[in-house]
Amino acid sequence: MASSTFINVFLICCLFFISSSSIAQSTTRSTTKGLILRVSKDPSTLQYTTEIKQRTPLVTVKLIVDLGGRYLWVNCDEGYTTSTYRAARCKSAQCSLAKSMDCMTVCYSHPAIATPACSNITCTLWPENTYVGITQMGTLGSDALSILSAAGGAPVSISQFLFVCGSTSLLGKLASGVTGSAGLGRTQVSMPTQLSSAFKLEKKFGM
């Protein structure tokens, strides 16, 4: 019984991305053999969470781990401040890569100024809270992202990592402090696919 318990704890300690035109643009092209996302289990909700650093300046972002998620999505409604966000314009290569079928031509939430949460002429996707089964429209864009290297745990960064801006209403019943979801599914814009492309790693990860 003790041996079985140890194995279970080990399996959830981290996601290990093991070592093609880049989807995400790496600004620190290292010789790392892999990347690490530390995973923990929230004692209240029993949900698995992880953390990355995103934006400029970098901010720690707590995420739900979604093994089938199509992409990284983050709540941009509240407190999303950055100098490096870029909206994915309608009919752009990024929109095609993400298989976006819709376009937000005019955003009325913030008419005075374009923000990550609301940008004109931006393609849209539908981020999902899988714990309560709800989806809402979000906008595709990119921003700086930092993740730990397996080589000594040093951080490495990507200048423009594709993700979806979601809304505050998607956070219902998620673990305390969570502001988005780490999508690890098999799509062209999921976290494993973008990370493997940016750092020239094999397209696989272990837990």
103-107 long-range contacts, Cβ below 8 Å, gap at least 24?
104/137, 104/139
Give the model's pLDDT for residue 143.
97
* Residue 180 scores a pLDDT above 70: yes
Phi/psi for 158 (5° steps) reads: -125, 130
- State the number of CA atoms in the 13 A half-sphere of 99 facing the CB: 8
Give the model's pLDDT for residue 150.
84
Give the model's pLDDT for residue 171.
96
Domain count, the chain: 1
Mean per-residue pLDDT of the chain: 83
Selection from 104, 127, 125, 101 nearest residue 115 by Cα? 104
pLDDT in tens, 9-52: 333 456 666 543 345 665 555 556 789 899 999 999 999 999 99
Give the model's pLDDT for residue 31.
55
- What type of residue is 44? S
Residue 133 is part of which domain span?
2-206
- State the number of CA atoms in the 13 A half-sphere of 16 facing the CB: 14
* Residue 91 scores a pLDDT above 90: yes
* Residue 114 scores a pLDDT above 80: no
Give the model's pLDDT for residue 13.
53
Mean pLDDT of 176-185: 96
Mean pLDDT of 195-207: 82
CATH of the domain at 133: 2.40.70.10
Q: Does residue 189 contact residue 162 with C-beta atoms inside 8 Å?
A: yes
pLDDT more than 90, % of the chain? 61
For residue 146, give both structure tokens: 């930092």
Kindly indicate the confidence band of residue 175, based on its pLDDT and cuts at 50, 70 and 90.
very high
pLDDT in tens, 128-173: 999 999 999 999 999 999 999 887 778 999 999 999 999 999 999 9
* Residue 207 scores a pLDDT above 80: no
For residue 50, give both structure tokens: 């992880």
For residue 49, give both structure tokens: 């969470």
Mean pLDDT of 165-182: 95
pLDDT more than 70, % of the chain? 80
